[in-house]
Amino acid sequence: MPEIAKFVNRGAAIITPAVAEQVVRLLPQWKLEFTQINAPKFPHLVDQLSFLADAVEDAIEGAYKDLPLVGIAQAVFALIYAHKKVGIIPDALLELGRADDSSVVRVVLIQNEKAFAIYAGKQGLDWRQITSLA
């Protein structure tokens, strides 16, 4: 996971406020697309993407002001990455196509665990369900 963490950190470093605001405008459509992800080997990916999308929306729109900027940038990067059809592993590969998306999302959740756990609690969500590997 260290290489994926470096990849996420490099990607997040180029996320500007303008990029984050543009992503927020696209999130309603992306959320619908995310619900169509069929990745049985990664059963929590859709819920995790939805969680990150909600967190980014709340942070950028000012409804929740306690997420660190690095966490917001990493979440934006993960959402952009998951939205793309071609990544490290192309999504078209049925069994493994979402492995890279899942890994990127997991890194974001792990690296920002404390902040996202607090956010989840304030939203009435069970953090353990969001981060579950099962």
Model pLDDT for residues 49-90, shown as the tens digit of each residue: 999 999 999 999 999 999 999 999 999 999 999 887 655 554
Instruction: pLDDT band for 100, please (50, 70, 90 cuts).
Output: confident
The predicted pLDDT at position 134 comes to 38
Q: Is the pTM of this model over 0.75?
A: yes
The confidence score (pLDDT) of residue 37 equals 84
| Cα(18)–Cα(20) distance, integer angstroms | 5
pLDDT band at 131 (very low <50, low <70, confident <90, very high): confident
Q: In whole angstroms, give the CA distance from residue 86 to residue 94.
A: 13
